[in-house]
Chains A and B, each alone.
Chain A
Amino acid sequence: VILNKIIDALNKRSDLGGWTVRHQLVRGSQVYAVPNQTEALREVGIEQYRIDVLRHTSTAEGKEGVGSGNATLLPGGDIESAIERAVLTAGLVANPVHTIPAPAPLPDVPLVDAELQRDPSSVTKALMEQIQAAAATHRDVQLTAAECFGEIHTTHLVNSRELDAEQEATQVNIEFVLHSRRVDTDVESFAEMRRRRVADLEIEHEMERRARCTLDQFEAAPAPAWHGPVVLRREALATFMGGGVLHTLGSAEAKYAKTSSWEIGKSVFRHEVKGDPLTVWANRCIPFGISSNRFDQEGLPAQRVELIRDNELVAFAASQRYADYLNLPPTGAFGGVEIPPGPTSASALLAEPHVEVIQFSWFTPNSITGDFATEIRFGYLVENGVRKPIRGGQLVGNFLDALADVHWSAETGMLGSYLGPHTARFNELKIAGQDR
């Protein structure tokens, strides 16, 4: 009802060049556990109407321009004053002319866990019990904290070009901590995962892996100084690829702002490529991908956009606005990162010697230069037939230089916002660690 009233009010305005309304609804359940008890149980609801408007304006030099404004209305809010606020704001600026998306067929991207959609409260509680049961099978570690969020996100988007689209998606977020103590030494592993479906969390498998890492930390030595092959697998690889460099440099917005020097048809690398050639898709169609959707915030349909083919930039990920500015096809939001399977088996990529990083403290590369220096929370030094646990030290390098000398596995996996080889061997990375 409110959405229709907003649309009616917007349609009555004669001073608008376009408008979009997005009704967003979130309902969810949260369970928090501390040792031996439930810390908190929460039921949560969020609802809002985001209104975006465009107005025809003119620049100080008299050139034709467009201004944009927005307002977000909460249930019970005053529709007229929210629209007026957005319209006033739009009248204050004169940007190059741009438009809003026209209606287009929407792909049917699977985004829903049916059980979670039906009963988030029960599913979230059951998930917490599953985590607790899986942890209990590992006698040498204790689950000292866990959080489970189950949410249903509903979006209804309508714009002045008669685009009218709806989508529903589920999301499950978990965190847990495994702890172990021997004499006066404490160790822990912290896991954090986000998926659309509960089954994709693979709780038992993940718990097994984390329990092993937790106990291996008792033997961990400081990371050594290292210059050579570094292997990333599964979550660590997904973290690395999702660090934001591809998203920034591959975006039309960054190109327009001159913070990306990438050019279509040219190599994205500054040096010779020594490893497997790089191909990347910006993909919003990954089934149950955490960055997937049927349409993005502007209403642009989900696409699988070939961003980079054999090291050369093919396209920028472009919202309607920046597509109009740069005369590019609009692709919409970036979505997840997809890499094609590599030519080498994962087992071959694990050849000695190498360092495997299991978990970063926080991988935060400079998204414009690609430079990074990130602490290794936990990993292994693999040489001479020994897999030796390590922690501390910093992995140091440049994201693009690293991708110019990498070999990808033939085996793939879907890890939230990443679909592609589940193992990568970077041939020449540096670790700032203790002298050997």
Chain B
Amino acid sequence: MGKNNVRYTSIILHLQEASMTELRLLPDMAELRSSLGDIVDRGQQLAPGFRVLLSSKHGLTIQIDNREEHVVEAAPSAGTVLSAFDGRTMYERAVVGFDREKVQRAAHDLVRETVFANYTPADESAQRGDFITPMQIDPADLSVQEKLDRCRELHRRVTGRDPRIVNSQVRYVELSEHSVFASQSADLAQRIQRVRLFLVVIVAGENGQIQYDYISKSGGAGWEVLNFTEEEIEKLVESAIALLNAERIEPREYQVIAAPGVSGTICHESFGHGVETDMFLKERARAAHFIDRIVGSPLVNIVDDPSRPGEYGSYFFDDEGRMASATQIVENGIFRRGITDFYSATALKIPRSANGRRQDYSRKAYARMSNTYFDAGTSSLEEMLAQVDQGVYLDKWSSGMEDPQGWGIQVICHYGHEIKGGRITNRVFSPIGVSGYVPDVLQSISAVSTGLRLDAGTCGKGHKESVPVSSGGPHLLLKARLG
């Protein structure tokens, strides 16, 4: 926890410095921001704790394959959320856009909806500041033509490498988010920039079967993180072709080494979703009964940290005005605390963390993850492999699903390789489902590697409420049932 707090402080200082000249809000958002003090003051008179969120999200997708090109502006969302709490229920008006008159009228209607005066908000320290994702190559400074040319260049690099490639695809996604939060104690604004670049290779076998593999680069960053080496591209082509001979794995328990992305998905689905405290309130999370109890091997440390620099799930403050900081969820195998939104933290009378997030202004805030990961250990991958006589190296995840009450786990891997006699062989299995009982899986972790890497992803709450996140970790040596 101490180490992460130090890291957090240094980022904020750096960003506050950087933000002084750089944050430019959308014009109508900036104009409404100048009136928020007045709107909050009026709202507070009838609804103590009244607050306002301005949220704008827009994006761009460029997709190039062997046969066509697409440049698509993502449908933007832009709106204002007015919130008033009576101690039991959160009342909200979600208004499209940033029109001052409309927002004032909605605020007026909202605070007259019920009696809010009985609620006394907790004292919160004053928070002021503008923040922006640090970037070397800001996508906003590149024209669409320049981005398209960069994608075309990458596509050219993969073309013609093998006759079995029937198509290859470059997919660039940028997401830009501006938000302003205002309450009695806060006046905050941020611009979050996220980028992802996928490279997909589609191959066909002699009997007509089709397979594919992909790699991606991403970050809470600019174009500077979106570079692929020749070695990475060559390896991608090789792995796509190898999948043409992939086998289905014989279902049973295996000794497994999880690559960082797979480790992250295990972490995300087990002590990520499972410790979102709105699930505690709804009696949906078994973890609620395990605070300060052992839930995994002593090698297990799990952290959620929205302030982690450069990651896809990073932000400076959450959608409920809480400044980003790290939360140590599991410490040396012991579950310490969950991640919260305002409502569940208030109802459960537990400390808040900066995890109140909305899909967009039209949805409510829930307790959501940001960057969630297993912390690094001390083993090398070679040392871990040497401990496996017969097992599976899980290379790449494709999806996962939580089960906070039953503590079942589902992680689907695109593929994995056989480990035999301490070496990864060319025998490939696809797809591989990883399942098990969460404490058993975490308890079975017998080695954790040095270093860690996080992968970008989109996280849903159940099957909706998508938010950008990352998850990851080091390599893990564990036992799991594969199928």
> Measuring CB to CB, which residues of chain A are less than 8 angstroms from any residue of chain B?
26, 30, 32, 34-35, 37-48, 50, 68-72, 74-76, 85-86, 88-89, 92-96, 142, 144-145, 173, 175, 177, 179, 186-188, 190, 192, 225, 256-261, 361-362, 364, 366, 368-369, 371-375, 377, 391-394, 396, 430, 432-433
Contacts and interface: CB of A to CB of B under 8 A. Distances in A.
Binding site secondary structure of chain A: strand
A45 B212 CA distance: 40
A144 B288 CA distance: 15
Contacts of B463: 192, 362
Contact of A432 (B94, B431, B481): B481
A75 B210 CA distance: 45
B69 interface: yes
A57 B70 CA distance: 14
A257 B67 contact: yes
The list of the 4 closest CB pairs from A to B, nearest first, reads A432-B483, A432-B251, A373-B433, A375-B410
B28 A76 contact: yes
Contacts of B462: 175, 190, 192
A261 B209 CA distance: 7
Binding site secondary structure of chain B: strand
A35 B283 contact: yes
13 contacts: A34-B281, A40-B343, A45-B94, A72-B75, A74-B96, A76-B97, A144-B284, A186-B286, A190-B462, A258-B167, A362-B399, A394-B433, A394-B435
Contacts of A72: 73, 75-76
B210 A76 contact: no
Contacts of A393: 435, 483
Contact of B347 (A34, A38, A259, A366): A34
B406 interface: yes
B390 interface: no
Nearest to A393: B435
Contacts of B78: 74
Contacts of A364: 398-399, 412
Contacts of A69: 71, 73
A76 B99 contact: yes
Contact of B89 (A40, A89, A192): A40
A186 B481 contact: no
Contacts of A173: 464
B93 interface: yes
User: Which of B398, B431, B482 has the largest count of A CB atoms less than 10 A from its CB?
Assistant: B431
A144 B99 CA distance: 38
B92 interface: yes
Contacts of B169: 257
Given A74-B76, A144-B283, 8 more contacts: A42-B94, A74-B97, A89-B71, A177-B282, A177-B284, A188-B406, A377-B403, A377-B408
Interface in B72-119: 72-73, 75-79, 88-97, 99
